[in-house]
Structure 1
Amino acid sequence: MDQENSSTFKHQISARIRLVTDPNNDIPHLHKLITQMANYHNLTEYLTVTETSLSNTLFKSPPFHSFTALILEVSPNPFPITPHKDLSFNPIIKNNFNLKAPVLDPQSNTFRSENDVYVAGHVLVFPSYNGFFEKPGLNMDQIFVRKCYRGLGFGKMLFSAVASVAASMGMGMVDWLVADWNEESIKFYEKMGAHCVSDYRLYKLYGEKLQQCANISG
């Protein structure tokens, strides 16, 4: 292991969830996180997103009115609690988690956001609507915490952040997909009070088949 590229949190760790806002700093980290999630789900061969496509998609509309990303950062030091300019999402901060055991981050330099601040995870959301329900909602497309930071409550923080946004915007639901083999995530979501809709399958039309279907009516 490259000790120069690793950091250890020995006794305490602080966490912050904020909007992805900086194309130059945030987008490269977000792209690396999405790539790690694709590896986790064995979907690397389908990964076509780039840093450029992320930037072009994320910053065209106000947050939560289209594709939006939240990023999770950790630090050995408390995060300052200061007023935020963007009223669409105030950063969520939880300082001074007491650690039962040291946490070693072998990629801390790769995911360094600023001095002693490291990117640990993300969640992607976009507006959704279901004709059966009275109110629109948010679709949670991805939620991911890097392996070394799992089991510390950060996934719960990200999930709660999405629920908080939906509730504050007067929405009626949050929905998402989870792989049927991912028992750990299924248990987590059910513990959070989520309801599994098992009677439906996800279908996707993309790539060459999408183009072929689009040309049928031509």
Structure 2
Amino acid sequence: MVIISILIFIHAVIWEKYKSLRKDLIGVTLFVLFFSLISLLLLTFELKLYGIENADYGSDANYYWKAFLHVLDGISPDNYLAPNYVRWGVLVLFLSVDKSIIWVKLANILLYSLSSNLLMIILYTRMPFIFKKSTNILFSIFTLNGIIIWTVIRNLKETFFLFILILEIYMLNILLVKYIGKYIKIILIILLIYFYFILLNGL
């Protein structure tokens, strides 16, 4: 619950910072949340029909779920594939009201929504001559790619990977702005290097 609240707050901060894009950003967010939550609801209902509570289809999703539980019991996340994604899932569960996979899935949906917001900002600021405001509907439809949504509503690392990748591009975009202070640039460079090594090591 805490992580979900923080992600919602970050959305609000972004909307406040980019007031000229607020309407478009909120529109994309609502598109992503609506279709992702509907898809998650249908998936959860189907899983319950098969008596599956805190797991999912496929070995990868179940692998990460078991990894979360083991790390919560004291095992190091470095013993698992994509340890940083495992840390993310453990953090979400640790700060939630109960140990249910639904919190990780909801957090991943918000993470994807945040990625979509950042990507829209990058496109609007770097390519305004191509990416006009009138194309926001097309962008929203693009974010609803079925394969991506299917990945988002399951317990898979790709959502986390996509967020880190877009966040890196967003920070690079900020670095190219001349009016930011040198200390902010130093912090951004450090973060870029850190996230680069996260991606380099496969999360």
Question: TM-score by structure 2 length?
Answer: 0.29
Between Structure 1 and Structure 2, which shows a larger proportion of strand residues? 1
TM-score, normalised on structure 1?
0.28
* Structure with greater proportional helix content: 2
Larger RCO (alpha carbons 8 Å, 6+ apart): 2
